[in-house]
Amino acid sequence: MTSLINALPGALAQGLIWGIMAIGLYITYKVLEISDLTVDGSFCTGGAVCAMMLIGGHNVWVAMLVALLAGMVAGFVTGILHTTLKIPAILSGILTQLGLWSINLAIMGMKANQALNVNNYDMLVSLRYLQDVSKGLRPFWQHPLFSVGLFTVAIIAVLYWFFGTELGCSIRATGANGNMARAQGINTNFNKVLGLMISNGLVALSGALLAQFQSFADINMGRGAIVIGLAAIIIGQVTFGKIFRNFALKLLAVSLGSVIYYVVIQAVISLLDINSNYLKLISAVIVAVFLAVPNIMPNLQKGKKEAGHA
């Protein structure tokens, strides 16, 4: 139990960081209704770019901006594969992800990982800051929960504004009904590319934050990102769907879904004291459960109703 309590703030912070990735995924998965597998690659791209920029002596904000842009480029590639070249969305994402593997290695100087010494760089977040703040060595606003939380709120605010603009509305229409959108003069292909760019930009930003938080970038850091993102979206929906109706609140639910996911994982690991090699298996089970719940529950109810009518 103590191990869980000790690990909790870290898990919460990590959940918030991955939550930004999940918000990015929400834009493709829910708004555009595209399953985009680019994210496993673009997440790592963000982390790798940020790490290398910091190592190269750049300001952390510049590093994050470049990471964001790199993610957008990845989304652009997937978008072009899907729209101009008419390759199915899932396959387009897989192709970009595959290609990114090599690119990410190249970004990291052909190394599988790059360490970031906390003492050498002025970072936005770090697991170390968490301890520092509790020891009183740093001001409270450098606490990862605070800084990442603020970052999340800012991102949600910008997205909320954007999806209320003419352009943002047209992206929503593109996902909701492509035929209708085109009949209303909306360039659906352009919008899909734009949506994929925004999405992967956020995913890369999240990767950049994680690289800082864990003090390294790793070629495998994005592996399974899509699963975590879907988990966050589904958990958020199952948990808050009934009360959060507004778009901004829906995005907040995604972020909270990610936090819940990390806390559950952490609890399972700490309380059951299992080998961390089973982490992926546990993740898969948790996601499967949350994905299945909304499918099975109405079925159960429907089954009851049908039985009642018969």
- 237 contributes a contact to other proteins by CB under 8 A: no
Instruction: Please identify which residue in 1, 85, 183, 243 interacts with other proteins, judged by CB under 8 A.
Output: 183
- 179 contributes a contact to other proteins by CB under 8 A: yes
Size of the residue set binding other proteins (CB under 8 A):
22
Token pair recorded at residue 214: 């864990």
Instruction: Please identify which residue in 182, 216, 238, 263 interacts with other proteins, judged by CB under 8 A.
Output: 182
Cα 35 to Cα 24, 129, 207, 236, 269: the distances in Å are: 12, 35, 19, 18, 30
Minimum distance between the CB of residue 160 and other proteins, rounded to whole angstroms? 12
* Window of 18-26, 145-153, 168-176, 296-304 that interacts with other proteins by CB under 8 A: 168-176
Cβ distance to other proteins smaller for residue 182 or 223: 182
Instruction: Please identify which residue in 28, 38, 188, 199 interacts with other proteins, judged by CB under 8 A.
Output: 188
* Window of 101-109, 149-157, 170-178, 258-266 that interacts with other proteins by CB under 8 A: 170-178
Taking the C-alpha atoms of residue 307 and residue 28, their distance in angstroms, rounded to an integer, is: 38
**DSSP label at residue 211:** H
Instruction: Please identify which residue in 154, 180, 272, 296 interacts with other proteins, judged by CB under 8 A.
Output: 180
Task: For residue 159, give the 3-state DSSP assignment.
Answer: helix
* Window of 74-82, 125-133, 169-177, 260-268 that interacts with other proteins by CB under 8 A: 169-177
Minimum distance between the CB of residue 182 and other proteins, rounded to whole angstroms? 5
Taking the C-alpha atoms of residue 259 and residue 176, their distance in angstroms, rounded to an integer, is: 28
Length of the chain: 310
- 181 contributes a contact to other proteins by CB under 8 A: yes
Cβ distance to other proteins smaller for residue 181 or 230: 181
Instruction: Please identify which residue in 177, 248, 279, 291 interacts with other proteins, judged by CB under 8 A.
Output: 177
Cα end-to-end span (Å), the chain? 50
- Listed in sequence order, the residues at least 6 apart from 160 whose beta carbon sits closer than 8 Å to its beta carbon are 247, 248, 251
Q: Which helix (H) or strand (E) segment is 102 a member of? A: helix 89-107
- Listed in sequence order, the residues at least 6 apart from 13 whose beta carbon sits closer than 8 Å to its beta carbon are 125, 127, 130, 144, 145, 148, 213
- Angle of helix 2-26 relative to helix 247-272, nearest 10 degrees? 150
- 170 contributes a contact to other proteins by CB under 8 A: yes
- 297 contributes a contact to other proteins by CB under 8 A: no
- 167 contributes a contact to other proteins by CB under 8 A: yes
* Window of 4-12, 38-46, 105-113, 159-167 that interacts with other proteins by CB under 8 A: 159-167
Maximum pairwise Cα distance, the chain: 72
Task: For residue 114, give the 3-state DSSP assignment.
Answer: strand
Q: List interacting residues with other proteins (CB under 8 A).
A: 162, 164-170, 172-173, 176-177, 179-188
